[in-house]
Copies of this chain bind each other. A is one copy, B any other.
């Protein structure tokens, strides 16, 4: 078994690794035992040399004529991506999107464990959504003592995003996963990642509306 190495990878590499994992999981399901970087390259439209380079970060090397062993790739990728470890998270903003994420069991399969939610609406505080209880912001320090959650999932309205991020960081959380369209500012030592569903929609609408179709790939 490869030791899991913890190095900071370039963002583009980290974006591609889940593609490779999804692809090898798919071919493993079809009973395929080995795969070459050329085959991965054709399927995913990524340069074979880029794939070899990305995988070398994981201490994985293909063998001449054989390529990669699919089972080894699966183990190395899922180990490296850390999707099998449970990462405790608090969710801020139990509105429509927040409730949707709480209900999405898929995130748990990728290691995100939402253990509590916070909201400012007294009407919903105390409710439970998909087994996760909603608390008032006042309860945050107490819940942190209890859970030591690391990741703050931000699903508040955009105007409240900075306040919620500040509160999460003040409470000792280490990472912000921002689902709002607001660009929150955080100290250097805090990890910040944004899922910009609205930016994706903006891209789709723009490309659909544009008279020419010359540039449609907005992956």
Question: Which chain A residues have a beta carbon within 8 Å of chain B's beta carbons?
Answer: 6-9, 11, 14-15, 17-19, 21-23, 25-26, 29, 43-46, 81-83, 85, 87, 95-97, 99-101, 103-107, 110-112, 150-151, 158-159, 161, 174-175, 177, 180-183, 185, 188-219
CB within 8 Å for A18 and B181 given contacts A6-B209, A219-B193: yes
6 tightest A-B contacts by CB?
A: A100-B100, A22-B158, A82-B205, A22-B181, A191-B207, A18-B181
User: Are B6 and A182 closer than 8 Å at their CB atoms?
Assistant: no
Count of this chain's copies in the oligomeric assembly: 2
Nearest opposing residue in chain B for A218, CB measure = B193
User: Are A29 and B159 closer than 8 Å at their CB atoms?
Assistant: yes
User: Are A177 and B194 closer than 8 Å at their CB atoms?
Assistant: no
Contact partners of A194 in chain B: CB under 8 A = 200, 219
Q: Which of B81, B95, B210 contacts A202 (CB 8 A)?
A: B81
Query: Could you tell me the distance in whole angstroms from the C-beta of A140 to the nearest C-beta in chain B?
Result: 20
Query: Could you tell me the distance in whole angstroms from the C-beta of A8 to the nearest C-beta in chain B?
Result: 4
Q: Which of B81, B198, B216 contacts A18 (CB 8 A)?
A: B198
Contact partners of A216 in chain B: CB under 8 A = 188-192
How many angstroms from the CA of A214 to the CA of B87 in the assembled complex?
A: 22
How many angstroms from the CA of A112 to the CA of B150 in the assembled complex?
A: 32
Query: Could you tell me the distance in whole angstroms from the C-beta of A116 to the nearest C-beta in chain B?
Result: 18
CB within 8 Å for A193 and B200 given contacts A19-B182, A44-B183, A214-B8: yes
CB within 8 Å for A218 and B204 given contacts A45-B185, A158-B26: no
User: Are A18 and B196 closer than 8 Å at their CB atoms?
Assistant: yes
User: Are B8 and A207 closer than 8 Å at their CB atoms?
Assistant: yes
User: Are A201 and B104 closer than 8 Å at their CB atoms?
Assistant: no
How many angstroms from the CA of A145 to the CA of B161 in the assembled complex?
A: 41
Q: Which of B7, B87, B96, B195 contacts A200 (CB 8 A)?
A: B195
User: Are A203 and B11 closer than 8 Å at their CB atoms?
Assistant: yes
How many angstroms from the CA of A185 to the CA of B43 in the assembled complex?
A: 8
